[in-house]
């Protein structure tokens, strides 16, 4: 085929593609224009402050996040960690804000088995269940089911439709303790303690507070830890991080918490239940040891 004929063919294909795209836009707009719509919130705003349980389920796994005392506790399988309140607040704000929803008439089909379900409950065990399905990237909408009716709405939910424990949890090493007043490093026959009277204490506190762990493991290691760091706050809460070397480049950091006598009973039980084990890089471990050896 000559170059001239090839160019003519490619031009025709381009014109046809543009035509099909324009037709799809027109039909989408027509569909939008005939859709019944209403303005509502998916979660009654007056119940937002009372929510104490959030469940997220998909075909493969599920997580549950519960308010325990003044903490949000996340559980997946046998692992319990502290949830990230900022992400939870963002989800509840999305659910409770007034939005436009469009009624659609899809019937359940095989692809609808691939859904993500969000269930929120309040103190009186009143619940709201939403099943989220496919996304329409062209219109930036997402399908969902509520009270046996299918709708579409603006897609600002995609980021929340995950059961990944790493997305919903806090990753800072000291996330379970605030305002520490002392640190104690124990390694083999060595023990180093730093408190507010130590010249380098506030530097150590600042640097440790900025460090983060890697992915959370759903299974803990049975190996003996190589060293540990215990942090205590002014009320007597103790956070101990046990560091276990797995490979030349990776450690496992396991969390243990002893609540303060000042912690409310429900908060104390929640802290006792935390059993987080997470990957931590060799670089981070070396940085921690440098802080105590300077």
Listed in sequence order, the DSSP H helices in 99-246 are: 165-168, 201-210
20: enclosing H helix or E strand: helix 3-34
Instruction: Give residue-wise pLDDT tens across range 112-139.
Output: 568 899 999 998 878 999 999 988 888 8
* Mean predicted confidence (pLDDT) in 177-199: 93
How much is the pTM? Answer: 0.81
Q: SS3 for 1?
A: coil
Predicted confidence (pLDDT) at residue 145 exceeds the cutoff of 70: yes
| Per-residue pLDDT at 192 | 94
Predicted confidence (pLDDT) at residue 49 exceeds the cutoff of 70: yes
Mean residue pLDDT of the chain comes to 88
| Per-residue pLDDT at 275 | 92
* Mean predicted confidence (pLDDT) in 74-96: 95
| Per-residue pLDDT at 110 | 43
Burial 31-51 (b: 16+ CB within 10 A, else e): eeeeeeeeeebbbeeebbeeb
């Amino acid at each position: 085929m000559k170059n001239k004929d090839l160019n003519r063919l490619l031009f025709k294909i381009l014109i046809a593609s543009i035509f099909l795209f324009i037709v799809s836009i027109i039909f989408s707009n027509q569909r939008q224009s005939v859709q019944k719509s209403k303005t509502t919130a998916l979660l009654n705003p007056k119940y937002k402050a009372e929510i104490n349980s959030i469940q997220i389920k998909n075909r493969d796994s599920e997580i549950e996040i519960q308010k325990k005392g003044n903490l949000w506790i996340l559980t997946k399988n046998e692992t319990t960690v502290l949830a990230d309140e900022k992400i939870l607040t963002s989800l509840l704000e999305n659910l409770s804000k007034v939005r436009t929803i469009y009624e659609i008439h899809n019937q359940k089909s095989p692809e609808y088995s691939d859904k993500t379900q969000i269930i929120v409950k309040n103190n009186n065990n009143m619940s709201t269940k939403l099943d989220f399905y496919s996304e329409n990237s062209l219109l930036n909408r997402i399908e969902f089911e509520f009270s046996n009716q299918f709708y579409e709405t603006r897609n600002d939910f995609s980021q929340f439709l995950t059961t990944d424990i790493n997305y919903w949890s806090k990753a800072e090493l000291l996330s379970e303790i605030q305002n520490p007043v002392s640190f104690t490093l124990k390694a083999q026959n060595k023990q180093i303690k730093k408190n507010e009277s130590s010249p380098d204490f506030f530097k150590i506190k600042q640097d440790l507070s900025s460090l983060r762990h890697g992915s959370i493991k759903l299974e803990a290691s049975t190996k003996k830890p190589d060293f540990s760091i215990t942090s205590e706050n002014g009320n007597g809460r103790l956070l101990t991080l046990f560091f276990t070397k797995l490979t030349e480049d990776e450690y496992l950091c396991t969390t243990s918490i002893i609540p303060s006598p000042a912690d409310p009973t429900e908060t104390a039980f929640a802290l006792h239940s935390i059993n987080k084990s997470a990957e931590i890089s060799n670089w981070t471990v070396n940085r921690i040891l440098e802080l105590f050896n300077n």
